[in-house]
Amino acid sequence: MKLSLIEKEIIENSIRDIKDFPKPGIVFKDITTLLNDKEAYGVLMNHLYTRYKEYNLNFIAGIDARGFIFGAALAQMLGIGFVPIRKKGKLPYTTIAEKYSLEYGVDEVEIHIDAFSKVPHAKVLLIDDLIATGGTANAAAKLINQAGAECVESCFILGLTFLDGIKNLQENTPVYTVVEVH
């Protein structure tokens, strides 16, 4: 299911551009304005519900931290569980971790080792607010599979098509972006 032109416009118009943040030359896509716009957030969440209600998902996994906002709400709407994927050292129980490259270094995300243990071969949707280079998303998708589940799709509210993140992630899982930024 695709957004109507009106729905797409409502969502796009609710996202604020911040020039030169976090550094000169970057145009930051600020979703806080989407979150406090009840019409835009409602349009978005209803669209995601309609898209995923027939996927027979068992869990939504959200990437720290903005993926929690969309993922937990969508999981509740679908009547399924939510699993957080967090930065290293933030989860309180036994975890598995996956490293990924940054522009200048390496970072790591973790998931509880038993996140999907109650449902053998669980079908999981990965969600976050934005995909740029895809490092975090690739690591998160790998973690889902390492934890014994299947990452059936990765969903992002915004996809930056001028970077290679979408293309790179598609090697591991299908990718859906609600709005593309060219």
In CATH, which of 3.40.1800.10, 3.90.550.10, 3.40.50.2020, 2.40.240.20 is domain 5-181? 3.40.50.2020
Q: Note the pLDDT of residue 113.
A: 97
3-state secondary structure 35-91: HCCHHHHHHHHHHHHHHHCCCCCCEEEEECCHHHHHHHHHHHHHCCEEEEEEECCCC
Domain ranges of the chain: 5-181
Catalytic residue among 7, 12, 66, 150: 66
The terminus-to-terminus CA distance of the chain in angstroms comes to 21
Q: Among this protein's residues, is 7 annotated catalytic?
A: no
Report pLDDT for 182: 87
Instruction: Write down the pTM of the prediction.
Output: 0.96
Mean pLDDT across the chain: 96
Asked whether the predicted pLDDT for residue 167 surpasses 90, the reply is yes
β-strand partners of 62: 84, 127
Catalytic one of 103, 108, 110, 180: 103
Say whether 103 is catalytic: yes
Residue-wise pLDDT for 99-131, tens only, equals 998 777 899 999 999 999 999 999 999 999 999
